[in-house]
Amino acid sequence: MDEVVESYRLFVLNPQVGLPVRAGVSPVTPFVGPGMRGVATLEYVPCRLSLVPRLLAGPCRPDVVVLHTSPPVNGRVSLGTEVNILPAAVEAARAGGGLVIAQLNPAMPYTFGDGELALDIVDLAVEAHQPLPNPAVRAGDEVVRAIGERVAALVADGATLQLGIGGVPNATLAALTGRRGLRVWTETFSDGVLALDRAGALDTGADLVTSFLFGSAELYGWVDRNPRVRLLRTETVNDPGVIARQPAMTSINTALQVDLHAQVNASHVRGRVWSGFGGQPDFVAGALHAPGGHAVIALPSWHAKSDTSTVVAALDEPTTSFQHSYVVSEHGTAALWGRSVQGQARDIIAHVADPRARDGLTRHVEATAATPSG
């Protein structure tokens, strides 16, 4: 690799902090994080998370991979808080004769699972101490707390949980401290799972499986060399077939909009990409196929800032997931499994939509029911 590269594509996933925007660098991502929103040159590649490793082995094969790891222990480093797609990226780079660079950071916890890598797969290592980022703590409002309680009412003792990102999943965890024997099989978790452990709500005999973590310094201390916590690669964690084998798998995700066909937009705001599919379609499909499983979508019924209903007649943004067991808002829960298309629409209007939106949505249903098809 002697030549000087003047322009390159930078493949990143969910960056929390701003990326260096320089001439010749084009960022590419299947999931837009806060650090990338508004970057004019951003190339968004729609892809569910379970399939991102295949992007890396094919159209987005990396020449150089930069890792952030723990310091070595017995000749191995750990990817710590983020395993996710990184083992696949390392394999793809090495298969193509590429380079693996690592920052060895004493602040990075050593986590067990697929992120433990032999140091000799690293071509260049730089030791640098750097505190890990922590998410801003956002206090959930009354609406979000009410939704969390309604969703928690759908979670039985002994269920296996996947929680997506955002205020609603966090509020749900806070309402689950009274449950017992809960298991965790999720793409990501934060301090809410630590709180469940402290409350005695988790099955202490089952591994807590995830692919990445984002939380407080206390969470990072708890996962360090914790044999109960296993960070596995996304090909395993997000495989819908493996998700479907988890007992009473309950996926809990939020959304920006839901329509009367129970289709969900969780990735676009006003025609522009805000996040991406992430693992939502993987977990929704897996949970629907699991024994005793449920796929839950929970969202506030009204978006105060734009003063609009989040329940719409038909999505005019790209769909992130479709077909769910339950749709929940602060007003109630629509149980959709086995309902007709008319029944789904009626229940979403009656139980999920804000009262201000109900008449308009009902008029839409009546008008479309009266229109002959074909």
Ligand X SMILES: CC(=O)SCCNC(=O)CCNC(=O)[C@H](O)C(C)(C)COP(=O)(O)OP(=O)(O)OC[C@H]1O[C@@H](n2cnc3c(N)ncnc32)[C@H](O)[C@@H]1OP(=O)(O)O
For the bound state, the minimum distance from the C-beta of residue 362 to ligand X, rounded and expressed in Å, comes to 20
- Known active-site residue 366: no
Q: CA–CA distance from 145 to each of 130, 150, 206, 297, 329 (Å)?
A: 35, 9, 28, 15, 10
Which one of 75-83, 272-280, 336-344, 354-362 is the stretch in contact with ligand X (CB under 6 A)? 272-280
Instruction: Give the nearest residue (CB) to ligand X.
Output: 278
Selected from 5, 120, 305, 373, the binder of ligand X by CB under 6 A is: 305
SS3 348: helix
Told to check if 275 binds ligand X by CB under 6 A, we report yes
Residues 346-365 touching ligand X, rule: CB under 6 A, are none
Distance of CA 101 to the CA centre of its chain: 26
Taking alpha carbons only, the member of 41, 32, 29, 90 closest to residue 62 is: 90
Least distance to ligand X from the beta carbon of 319, Å?
12
CB of 34 to ligand X, least distance (A): 9
Q: Which amino acid is at 27?
A: P
Name the helix (H) or strand (E) containing 10.
strand 8-11
**What DSSP string describes 235-268?**
HHHT-HHHHTTSTTEEEEEE-SEEETT-EEE-SE
77 - beta bridge partners?
117
Helices and strands: H and E segment counts in the chain: 11, 27
C-beta of 297: minimal distance to ligand X in Å? 9
Answer yes or no whether residue 143 interacts with ligand X by CB under 6 A.
no
Among 83, 255, 262, 285, binds ligand X (CB under 6 A): 255
Lookup: tokens for 119? 């140091």
Q: What are phi and psi for residue 176, nearest 5 degrees?
A: -105, 10
**Residue carrying structure tokens 């322009």:** 7
Q: How far is the CB of 197 from ligand X (least distance, A)?
A: 20
Place of tokens 């099989």: 185
Q: Burial letters for 175-205: b for 16+ Cβ neighbours within 10 Å, e otherwise? A: bbeebebbbbbbbbbbbbbbbbbeeebbbee
Given 82, 116, 187, 235, which residue is catalytic? 187
Tell me the three state secondary structure of residue 32: coil
The residues in 309-348 that bind ligand X, with binding defined as CB under 6 A, are: 310, 320
The residue (of 268 and 351) whose beta carbon lies closer to ligand X is 268
Q: Does 269 bind ligand X (CB under 6 A)?
A: yes
Pick 72 or 294: Cβ nearer ligand X? 294
Structure token pair of residue 129: 């101490």
Q: Does residue 253 belong to the site contacting ligand X (CB under 6 A)?
A: yes
Nearer to ligand X, 78 or 265 (CB): 265
Of 137, 81, 84, the closest CA to residue 105 belongs to: 81
- Segment lying near ligand X (by CB under 6 A), choices 81-89, 92-100, 299-307, 352-360: 299-307
Q: Is 234 in the site for ligand X (CB under 6 A)?
A: no
CA distance 182 to 157: 6
Q: How far apart are CA 181 and CA 159, in angstroms?
A: 7
235 binds ligand X (CB under 6 A): no
Binding mask 170-199 for ligand X (x = CB under 6 A): -----------------xx-----------
Q: Which is nearer to ligand X, 70 or 257 (CB)?
A: 257
Candidates 62, 115, 215, 279; binder of ligand X (CB under 6 A) is 279
**Residue 257 is a binding residue for ligand X (CB under 6 A):** yes
Size of the site for ligand X (CB under 6 A): 26
Please give the Cα distance from 290 to 296 (Å, whole number). 13
Q: Which of residues 4-63 bind ligand X (CB under 6 A)?
A: 49
Interface residues with ligand X (CB under 6 A)? 49, 164-167, 187-188, 253-257, 266-267, 269, 274-275, 278-280, 303, 305-306, 308, 310, 320
The residues assigned a catalytic role are 187
